[in-house]
Amino acid sequence: MSGPGFLRLVPVVLAVAIVGALPVLAQVTTPDFMPKGGKTLFIDVFGATPDAAILDEVAGDARSEAGWNEALAKTDLKLKDKEQRTLAAYLAVNMPLPRDTLDTAAKAGDIASALPADGRELAWFGCQSCHSLFAGYLTQDRDLQGWENMFQSPFHRELKMTPQERDEFSRYSAINMPMKFDDVPEELRF
């Protein structure tokens, strides 16, 4: 086909392709090889349907990262050091949350829908749109200030991220990056 008739079909073909791909795209999740983010750890620790007392204690409380680390250290959650620090950072950035939203999600058995994205999700679904996840993110060794400074570069400054998302991303990354070369799947090492 050639000419104007073909050009009129392009949007239709693209729409059909996108609609056909939606079920597959909806199933895309964050990768297991990356360290768990705070949202995943929240669900691992407190469950998909936390009871009201847990929601009052955790989701209704505002604390510093150090305050959350101290509180988590007093529990018997059996988190590894980086996991505890990641969860504490996530809670410090994202709590408190509206209780009615959490109650509704907990009753539906889907607390994840009410929790903000964590650093792993933000990296997986954001970084790859512009550069290699491996070289541009997973192998970067920066402290918290270094990750926060990254958002000052011209193209990162333009990212459509809230200050809260930038803070979450930076804290997760400072705790969990760089990853070991062998821990990254071979197909992503570029």
User: What are the domain boundaries of the chain?
Assistant: 35-115, 117-190
The pLDDT value recorded for residue 99 is 84
Using CA atoms, how far apart are residues 72 and 96, in angstroms rounded to an integer? 16
Spatial separation of the C-alpha atoms in residues 172 and 118, rounded to whole Å: 8
Distance CA 81, CA 151 (A): 27
Task: Please report the pLDDT score of residue 24 as a whole number.
Answer: 36
Quickly tell me which residue has 């550069």 as its tokens.
Answer: 131
pTM of the predicted model as reported, rounded to 2 decimal places:
0.81
Which residues of the chain are modeled with pLDDT < 50? 1, 5-28
Burial class of residue 150, CB neighbours in 10 A (0-12, 13-18, 19+): middle
Residue 63, pLDDT score: 95
Looking at residue 4, its pLDDT comes to 52
pLDDT for position 153: 87
Report pLDDT for 135: 83
CA-wise closest residue to 47 among 140, 127, 113, 109: 109
| Token pair belonging to 66 | 């150090």
- For 121-137, give one letter per residue: b (16+ CB within 10 A) or e: bbbbebbeeeeebbeeb
